[in-house]
Amino acid sequence: MFLARVRTDDDQVVLAAQVTPDTLLRLDALGVVGDDPVAVLREWGAEPLAEKVRQAVAGGGAEGAVLPVGAVRFESPVPRPQKIICVALNYLAHAEEGDQAVPEEPVIFFKPPSSLVGHGATVHCPSRSQRLDYEVELAVVIGSTARDVPAEQWQRVVLGYTVLNDVTARDLQLVAIDKNQPWDHSKGFDTFAPCGPYLVTADEVADPMTLDLTLTVGDEVRQRSNTRHMVFGIPELIEVISHGITLEPGDIIATGTPSGIGPVPHGEVMTATVEGVGTLANPVVYDRQLAPVAG
């Protein structure tokens, strides 16, 4: 299933399932309570919920509950993660373009949940920065409480997938790197974790390690790769991250970005796509309306 949290014309946030590329079905009209897809999937299960949607569509029970995609505003599909765990330098070419050594084990950092926004939301570069960069990533959504998960059992804790853009104030990050300081501040500003449009249940993705990723700015393709080029795959990431850290339902693991990073000018739209998971588009506004430095 492709599940979205959307804000309707009357300013309600509702949970909806994609029934065609252009239409969504409100699940509250089917008696499904709540707007959090993580909680709803844990209560119902992906297949029973999908069957309920199929029966409603086939039997005419969806009348009046259909929403055109173009008539809603997308919220982050995961509303309340306890943590957003990001993986740095997890594609060889990306490490090389940043003149960074390829890590011998996963390097992680955290974004605050307050950085999340949905598909279509404006990303704001704060006035203290003059260079905002995009980073397309496949994100894993955790579905159960787990710790010390062996790599071979990774699938039991994965609820689904989404697209995440690890937006970065690159000029501030480079200063932090030069001073041997953490990157979290340059990665954690409000709106710096666009996510969505959908939470895609795990059964919809046959192999998350063979997915194409692209990112465009305007009409120009800036990033293009495949998840098979990760240095550390999802099984190993889950094993390492959960070693001593409890994963909770709704936690997000952003699995790293490929090469091709660069700045986004004021007023441009960055569009991140992960094959079979979705396309996430967000316009960029510089709070000082300065053109970012070349890079």
Same domain? For 67 and 91 the reply is no
Same domain? For 169 and 127 the reply is yes
The answer to whether 243 touches 236, Cβ cutoff 8 Å, is no
Rounded CA gap, 148 and 270, in Å?
36
pTM of the model: 0.94
Same domain? For 40 and 152 the reply is no
pLDDT by residue, tens only, the chain of 295 residues: 999 999 988 899 999 999 999 999 999 999 999 999 999 999 999 999 999 999 998 877 677 799 999 999 999 999 989 999 999 999 987 666 666 677 899 999 999 999 999 999 999 999 999 999 999 999 999 999 999 999 999 999 999 999 999 999 999 999 998 899 988 899 999 999 999 999 999 999 999 999 999 999 999 999 999 999 999 999 999 999 999 999 999 999 999 999 999 999 999 999 999 999 999 999 999 997 544 444 4
Q: Residue 94: its pLDDT value, please?
A: 66
Same domain? For 238 and 281 the reply is yes
Q: Evaluate whether residue 161 is within a structural domain.
A: yes
The answer to whether 189 touches 115, Cβ cutoff 8 Å, is yes
The last residue of a domain, from among 52, 74, 96: 74
Q: Evaluate whether residue 295 is within a structural domain.
A: no
Same domain? For 134 and 233 the reply is yes
Q: Residue 98: its pLDDT value, please?
A: 61
Same domain? For 120 and 204 the reply is yes
Q: Evaluate whether residue 235 is within a structural domain.
A: yes
> Domain of 28?
2-74
CATH at residue 250: 3.90.850.10
The last residue of a domain, from among 46, 74, 102: 74
Q: Residue 254: its pLDDT value, please?
A: 98
| 234: helix, strand or coil | helix
How many domains, in total, are found in the chain? 2
Q: Evaluate whether residue 98 is within a structural domain.
A: yes
Same domain? For 120 and 53 the reply is no
The last residue of a domain, from among 30, 47, 74: 74
Beta strands in the chain (DSSP E): 2-7, 13-20, 23-26, 66-68, 73-74, 84-88, 107-111, 116-117, 123-125, 132-133, 136-142, 158-165, 168-169, 193-201, 212-217, 220-226, 252-254, 269-274, 278-286
Q: Evaluate whether residue 294 is within a structural domain.
A: no
Q: Residue 233: its pLDDT value, please?
A: 97
Q: How far is CA 59 from CA 3, 28, 52, in A?
A: 21, 17, 10
Q: Evaluate whether residue 31 is within a structural domain.
A: yes
Q: Evaluate whether residue 219 is within a structural domain.
A: yes
Same domain? For 168 and 244 the reply is yes
Same domain? For 155 and 221 the reply is yes
Same domain? For 67 and 100 the reply is no
Q: Evaluate whether residue 293 is within a structural domain.
A: no
Same domain? For 32 and 128 the reply is no
Same domain? For 66 and 136 the reply is no
